[in-house]
Amino acid sequence: MGLFADSFGRNFESIPSLSMLDGEDNIIKEAIKGEASAFGRLYDHYQPQIYRFILIRVGHREEAEDLTHQVFLNAWKRVPSYEPRGFPFSSWLYRIARNLIIDFYRTKKTEISVDEINEEDLGVNNSLGESADKKIEIENLLYAIRRLKDEHQEVIILRFIEDYSIAETASALNRSQGAIKLLQHRAINNLKKILKQ
């Protein structure tokens, strides 16, 4: 499934999803033992999608970069207590990111600016031949996502931008699969209403 592929009656370009890292279980075991180079491989693999998730939620590159750095710093400190549950390591990282975003909004009220997010930040390859219409559609979609409730934003980002399964999304958001299905249904309906306005 690509970026909102046909779910909203629009045809957006696919964003490559970052699946589990080859040999991830062994890399995690090494990171748990304190091996910095193993954690560095996890960082290199998962940093782009964690950054994208945070950027869409906070809307400012500088804050997104700071929060992404904090996610991985927190993960490095806590990795000795990490317990694999059959999902990508990123599920755990998303939970850390989600908590940091909640704290961010509790302590700092800030204006969200969709203008600071561009196609490159989302992983969309925008060649010189791309039309202005497509750029406007992406900007409208980002604006609409920002108008959703937080939990709806999270589900939309993980399911359709990061291409996570229901189970992976449930793990990342610490919810049941049934709850994710319901949230996704409501999020899609609300997003359609916003896009029609």
Q: What percent of the chain has pLDDT over 70?
A: 76
Per-residue pLDDT of 33-71, as tens digits, reads 999 999 999 999 999 999 999 998 888 889 999 999 999
**What is the pTM for the complete model shown?**
0.66
Domain ranges of the chain: 24-196
Return d(Cα 147, Cα 156) in angstroms, integer.
12
Per-residue pLDDT of 150-174, as tens digits, reads 899 989 988 888 888 898 899 888 8
pLDDT classification of 76: cutoffs 50, 70, 90: very high
Residues 6+ apart with CB under 8 A from 60: 110, 112, 113, 116
Comparing C-alpha atoms, which of 93, 87, 99 is closest to residue 167? 87
CATH code assigned to 24-196: 1.10.10.10
- Name the token pair of 189: 């309906």
